[in-house]
Amino acid sequence: MTVRDRYFGVLGTGSAAPERILTNAELETMVDTSDEWIVSRTGIKERRIADEKTTSSTLAHRAALAALESAKLGAEEIDLIICATVTPDMAFPATACLLQDLLGLRRIPAFDLSAGCSGFGYALSVAESMLRSGPYKRALVVGVDLLSRITDYEDRSTCVLFGDGAGAAILGELPEGFGILASELGADGARGSLLQMPAGGSLRPASLASVEERQHYIRMQGSDVFKFAVRIMDEAGKRVVAQAGLEMDQVDLVVPHQANMRIISAAASRLGLPEEKFFVNVERYGNTSAASIGLALDEAARSGLLKHGDHVVLVGFGAGLTWSALVIKWWAEGDQHGSC
Ligand code: UT7
């Protein structure tokens, strides 16, 4: 069990999603698929798609403002920004820097982190370490992705899965025993090719040929990622709960990466937890990558599912291949979510 001398956790959460809904029925008119296939294989019924004016930084900004409001803090009280994304507004500057400007902030450190769908958990864990060791008091963590911008709507094996969204959390110091109790980050780089966007980087810069070959879209070996996901959610979930000094039956809620209902069900069964303990919104948003866990955590908090003192496990997996798992003892004193 890891013993912490100081405790840092979530002071407030926020999320944002574009208004436009892309239904399974609409996808049926775009590729050779069916609502029946999508729902039975993934649990997804609809996903949100950003309009042309929306970018990762503007969606992140909406989520950040909601998180600040829920934490009852002003933007000027934040002194660190970490943004997890694989769809930054542009390669550089970092989306976190664009977000800093949108929030009217100056000077504070702001950087992006690329860990695919594990990004939100990675960012929480990195922020916690920086709060513990550095001169920072409060961090804004945002997971945001506009996967619709890199989804190939001619590839039925991927286009039915992905959507756009943002999830945010404000981190700060909490009384002893609350907040992040344990975390595990991991990666298996040897399997990076299972989930990638092949072109647009230094390996294969954008060219007429790369565009014609449709190399600027997500390419995924779905069933291999599926098997990895189920195994790692089970293994990392068990390790992090033990690291927090808890038994599995002390877990009140699991907020998993929302990729596929079948992955969530299989992980629940392996962890020996009832599915009712898993917060699920994949049916409404699809897979929103780095936004997924933050968006789900915000909905869980606002719906009153998370009570003061609850043990919540956040567990995700994604491109890299990466994974992240955290145990948080939920702080809701002062009722910042109306859920206490
Ligand atoms: O966030 C991290 C990233 N991604 C994930 O977590 C995704 C992990 N993987 C998955 O969720 C699943 O592997 C998928 C949902 C992507 C696919 O489900 P599956 O049960 O593994 O299906 P499959 O890839 O083995 O395909 C089964 C069949 C194939 O047809 P044949 O070869 O059996 O005739 C596919 O061509 O389903 C076909 N298929 C489709 N049919 C209708 C694939 N996509 C579709 C589709 N509509 N959209």
Question: What is the pLDDT at residue 134?
Answer: 85
Shortest-distance Cα residue to atom 36 of ligand 1: 157
Parallel, antiparallel, or unpaired for β 179-187 and 322-329? Answer: antiparallel
Burial of 307 (0-12, 13-18, 19+ CB in 10 A): middle
Q: What percent of the chain has pLDDT over 70?
A: 98
Average pLDDT over residues 79-92: 98
**Vertex 275, ends 274 and 279: CA angle to 5°?**
125
Which residues form the pocket of ligand 1, taking CB atoms under 6 Å from any ligand atom? 33, 37, 41-42, 117, 156-157, 160, 195, 220, 222-223, 225-226, 229, 259-260, 287, 318
pLDDT at 39: 98
Distances (CA, A) of 181 to 184, 242, 314: 11, 10, 12
Look at residue 1 in the predicted model and tell me its pLDDT: 72
Residue nearest to atom 47 of ligand 1 (CA): 33
DSSP β-bridge partners for residue 9 = 172
Over residues 88-92, the mean pLDDT reads 97
> Does 340 have pLDDT greater than 60?
no
Q: Could you tell me if 19 and 62 are in contact, meaning their C-beta atoms sit under 8 angstroms apart?
A: no
Instruction: Give the pTM.
Output: 0.95
Q: CA 66, CA 99: separation in Å to the nearest integer?
A: 14
- 42 Cα: distance to centroid of ligand 1 (angstroms): 9
Quick check: is 117 catalytic?
Answer: yes
User: Given a cut of 50, is residue 17 above it in pLDDT?
Assistant: yes
CA-nearest residue, atom 43 of ligand 1: 157
Q: Is 287 a catalytic residue?
A: yes
Computed over its alpha carbons, how large is the radius of gyration of the chain? Answer: 19
In the predicted structure, residue 339 carries a pLDDT above the cut 70? no
Over 60: is that where the pLDDT of 338 sits? no
pLDDT at residue number 336: 47
> Scanning the structure block, which residue is given the tokens 């798992």?
325
Question: Is residue 159 annotated as a catalytic residue, yes or no?
Answer: no
Give the number of the atom of ligand 1 that is nearest the alpha carbon of residue 263.
Answer: 11
User: What residue owns the CA closest to ligand 1's atom 41?
Assistant: 33
Q: Which residue has the tokens 């449709």?
A: 214
What does the pLDDT read at residue 105?
98
- Residue located nearest, by CA, to atom 29 of ligand 1: 157
What number of other Cβ atoms are within 10 A of residue 32's Cβ? Answer: 7
Note the pLDDT tens digit of each residue in 264-290.
999 999 999 999 999 999 999 999 999
Residue-wise pLDDT for 143-158, tens only, equals 999 999 999 999 999 9
Q: Where are the alpha helices (DSSP H) in 20-115?
A: 24-28, 35-42, 56-71, 95-102
Nearest atom in ligand 1 to 292's CA: 1
pLDDT at 159 over 60: yes
131 or 334: which leads in pLDDT: 131
Output the average pLDDT for the chain. 96
pLDDT (average), residues 187-209: 97
Structure confidence at residue 2 (pLDDT): 72
Question: 257, 260, 281, 337: which is the annotated catalytic residue?
Answer: 257
